[in-house]
């Protein structure tokens, strides 16, 4: 292998830069970032300037503390135990329910999967989990990290888990069943009551992924909306993940993993005295751990309070209803399923949705494209938050104009050829050189993405999923590299 020449990497300044200049640079570097405002319909949850400012101050107060050792920082233990107790009460838990604060929904899910695997470990060495196709990708990540096999079961026509089909997928190696309240892609709550009954019947662990719905759904119920049962009130529900950095509007890095009792939660922990350093015990994945998201989360939930969250939930509910009514006026778009909360997916039989996303982007809106999978068609996702209260008429008007623009869009003739070329690739053997050639063939300069992403999404939508995954890995392997 020839040694490569050193790249022109940015170096540390010989003398440190003044703080004012640093802050100026940070501000200028973010000018191409996605706007964190009401034009964005994914990623961002914002309850306004005042909440943001409090979160900023609380975070800043706790930048040095270390969550590694809660006995050294009792304040952190207190914040965590209080947030867990609030979460448990919010989700119908009794005094037996315990849990931990984690960095996000993915970490909460990783921990629940690990706990379920380890509880069964003495009997089951090749563990499997049975989950609906709508369950979050984080479960597949957990399976990948922890050596479980996933058994993905098709959902029904309303995009809800199909309990009889899930029951049929259970075998002697199954250690975990999964349901969502609600699912991210379509915003529907799975029939958790039936899944819980199956879990009891087969003595299986049921995890309810309430990352996005756990905080909001009880408020929607209090506002009179019909919300199916999904929480600890159902026997058989063993663990629930609930993010705070979504509908509790806390800064990112905040989620809860809750267990019905300590016996279940015990399998989440890791301890090690098998080295020369301090005797280590970790409740969660991280060891040294920032206290800033924890302190900020504690601050925000106590500042907004029950009344604050009820007000925000009402706003979100009303905005969602307005959008659903607006979409009814657009015959080219159809809402998939019947959303149970504030997540909307719409599909189309007449226009290219990926072109619609581009046309909306040109008008300043960020909507999230979702690829077709099994019996779910491709769609566009909207996460409705309190920030969107006043922008529905503008959103619908721009959707109307963008539908017309997308209708005019003809498929790039290069696409068919490229899709065929790509389809022949073995995902296992995707070499970096071949990948870069592909990017060039698709008209991409290195890793820079084109302004219009419709062609890229259309290709991804047409390819087998293992190939999509291999292409994404290859792309990010280039993206996170010096000299870009
Ligand atoms: C957001 C989400 C997750 C993953 O959470 P992260 O915080 O992004 O790691 C899991 N499940 C559902 C339903 C979600 O909405």
| DSSP letter (8 states) at residue 33 | S
342 pocket-lining for ligand 1 (C-beta < 6 Å) = no
Atom of ligand 1 nearest to the CA of 105: 5
104 pocket-lining for ligand 1 (C-beta < 6 Å) = yes
Mean pLDDT of 245-258: 98
110 pocket-lining for ligand 1 (C-beta < 6 Å) = no
Mean pLDDT of 301-326: 98
- Write out pLDDT tens, residues 82-129: 999 999 999 999 999 999 999 999 999 999 999 999 999 989 999 999
317 pocket-lining for ligand 1 (C-beta < 6 Å) = no
230 pocket-lining for ligand 1 (C-beta < 6 Å) = no
* C-alpha–C-alpha distance, residues 255 and 245, integer Å: 7
Query: 152 by DSSP, 3-state: which?
Result: strand
Instruction: Give 111's contacts (C-beta < 8 A, 6+ positions apart).
Output: 100, 102, 257, 268, 284, 285
CA of 105 to the centre of ligand 1 (A): 4
- Write out pLDDT tens, residues 403-429: 999 999 877 776 777 777 777 788 887
Short-list 429, 420, 406, CA closest to 462? 420
Q: Average pLDDT, whole number, for the chain?
A: 94
Atom of ligand 1 nearest to the CA of 180: 13
105 pocket-lining for ligand 1 (C-beta < 6 Å) = yes
pLDDT at 309: 98
Beta-strand pair 280-282/270-272 = antiparallel
254 pocket-lining for ligand 1 (C-beta < 6 Å) = no
pLDDT band at 445 (very low <50, low <70, confident <90, very high): confident
Which among 108, 133, 138, 250 is the best mutation to test ligand 1's pocket, defined by most ligand atoms within 8 Å of the CB?
Answer: 138
Whether 103 and 73 have beta carbons less than 8 Å apart is answered as no
CA of 343 to the centre of ligand 1 (A): 13
Q: Per mean pLDDT, which range of 2-11, 74-83, 152-161, 296-305 is the poorest? A: 2-11
179 pocket-lining for ligand 1 (C-beta < 6 Å) = no
pLDDT at 6: 57
Short-list 417, 356, 346, 422, CA closest to 187? 346
Mean pLDDT of 122-146: 97
Which among 108, 209, 284 is the best mutation to test ligand 1's pocket, defined by most ligand atoms within 8 Å of the CB?
Answer: 209
CA of 349 to the centre of ligand 1 (A): 29
What are the residues facing 382 on neighbouring strands?
A: 344
pLDDT at 4 over 70: no
* C-alpha–C-alpha distance, residues 248 and 303, integer Å: 11
90 pocket-lining for ligand 1 (C-beta < 6 Å) = no
398 pocket-lining for ligand 1 (C-beta < 6 Å) = no
CA of 351 to the centre of ligand 1 (A): 29
Which residue's C-alpha comes closest to atom 4 of ligand 1? 105
Beta strands in 146-186 (DSSP E): 149-153, 174-180
pLDDT at 236: 97
pLDDT at 69: 94
Short-list 477, 347, 348, 354, CA closest to 415? 354
Angle at 24 between CA 18 and CA 28, to 5 degrees: 145
- Write out pLDDT tens, residues 343-397: 999 999 999 999 999 999 999 999 999 999 999 999 999 999 999 999 999 999 9
45 pocket-lining for ligand 1 (C-beta < 6 Å) = no
180 pocket-lining for ligand 1 (C-beta < 6 Å) = yes
Which among 184, 188, 385 is the best mutation to test ligand 1's pocket, defined by most ligand atoms within 8 Å of the CB?
Answer: 184
Whether 40 and 380 have beta carbons less than 8 Å apart is answered as no
Helix, strand, coil share (%) of the chain residues, nearest 5: 45, 15, 40
- Write out pLDDT tens, residues 203-229: 999 999 999 999 999 999 999 999 999
CA of 410 to the centre of ligand 1 (A): 35
Over pLDDT 90: what percentage of the chain?
Answer: 83
Atom of ligand 1 nearest to the CA of 183: 13
CA of 106 to the centre of ligand 1 (A): 6
pLDDT at 9: 64
Angle at 456 between CA 454 and CA 458, to 5 degrees: 65
pLDDT at 456: 87
CA of 337 to the centre of ligand 1 (A): 20
- Write out pLDDT tens, residues 318-347: 999 999 999 999 999 999 999 999 999 999
Which residue's C-alpha comes closest to atom 5 of ligand 1? 105
pLDDT at 5: 57
Query: 344 by DSSP, 3-state: which?
Result: strand
Query: 99 by DSSP, 3-state: which?
Result: strand
136 pocket-lining for ligand 1 (C-beta < 6 Å) = yes
pLDDT at 484: 46
């Amino acid at each position: 292998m020839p040694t490569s020449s050193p790249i022109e990497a940015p170096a540390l300044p010989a003398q440190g830069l003044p703080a004012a200049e640093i802050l100026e640079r940070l501000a200028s570097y973010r000018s191409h970032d996605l706007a964190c405002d009401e034009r964005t319909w994914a990623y961002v949850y914002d309850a306004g300037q005042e909440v943001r400012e409090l979160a900023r101050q609380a975070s800043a107060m706790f930048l040095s503390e270390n969550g590694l050792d809660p006995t050294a920082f009792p304040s952190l233990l207190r914040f965590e135990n209080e947030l867990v107790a609030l979460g448990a009460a919010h989700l119908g838990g009794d005094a037996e329910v315990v849990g931990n604060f984690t960095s996000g929904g993915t970490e909460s899910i990783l921990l629940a999967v690990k706990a379920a695997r380890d509880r069964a470990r003495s009997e089951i060495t090749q563990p499997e989990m049975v989950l609906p196709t709508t369950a979050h990708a984080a479960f597949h990540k957990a399976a990948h990290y922890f050596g479980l096999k996933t058994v993905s079961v098709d959902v029904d026509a309303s995009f809800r888990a199909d309990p009889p089909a899930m029951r049929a997928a259970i075998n002697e190696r199954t250690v975990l069943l999964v349901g969502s309240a609600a699912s991210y892609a379509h915003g529907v709550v799975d029939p958790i009551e039936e899944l819980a009954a199956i879990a009891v019947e087969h003595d299986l662990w049921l995890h309810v992924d309430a990352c996005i719905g756990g905080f909001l759904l009880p408020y929607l119920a209090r506002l009179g909306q019909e919300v199916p049962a999904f929480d600890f009130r159902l026997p058989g529900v063993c663990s629930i993940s609930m993010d705070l950095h979504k509908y509790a509007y806390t800064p990112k890095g905040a989620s809860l993993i809750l267990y019905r009792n300590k016996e279940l939660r015990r399998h989440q922990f890791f301890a090690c005295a098998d080295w020369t350093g301090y005797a280590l015990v970790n409740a969660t994945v991280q060891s040294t751990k920032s206290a800033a998201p924890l302190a900020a989360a504690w601050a925000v939930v106590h500042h907004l309070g029950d009344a604050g969250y009820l007000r925000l939930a009402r706003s979100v509910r009303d905005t969602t209803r307005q959008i659903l009514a607006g979409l009814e006026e657009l015959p080219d778009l159809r809402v998939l399923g019947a959303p149970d909360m504030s997540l909307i997916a719409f599909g189309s039989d007449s226009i290219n949705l990926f072109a619609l996303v581009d046309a909306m982007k040109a008008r300043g809106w960020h909507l999230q494209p979702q690829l077709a999978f099994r019996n779910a068609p491709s769609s566009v996702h909207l996460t409705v938050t309190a920030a969107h209260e006043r922008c529905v008429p503008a959103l619908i008007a721009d959707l109307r104009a963008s539908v017309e623009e997308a209708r005019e869009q003809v498929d790039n003739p290069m696409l068919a050829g490229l899709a065929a070329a790509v389809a022949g690739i073995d995902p296992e053997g995707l070499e970096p050189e071949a990948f870069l050639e592909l990017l060039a063939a698709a008209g991409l300069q290195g890793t820079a993405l084109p302004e219009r992403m419709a062609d890229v999404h259309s290709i991804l939508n047409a390819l087998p999923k293992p190939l999509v995954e291999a292409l994404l890995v290859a792309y990010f392997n280039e993206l996170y590299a010096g000299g870009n």
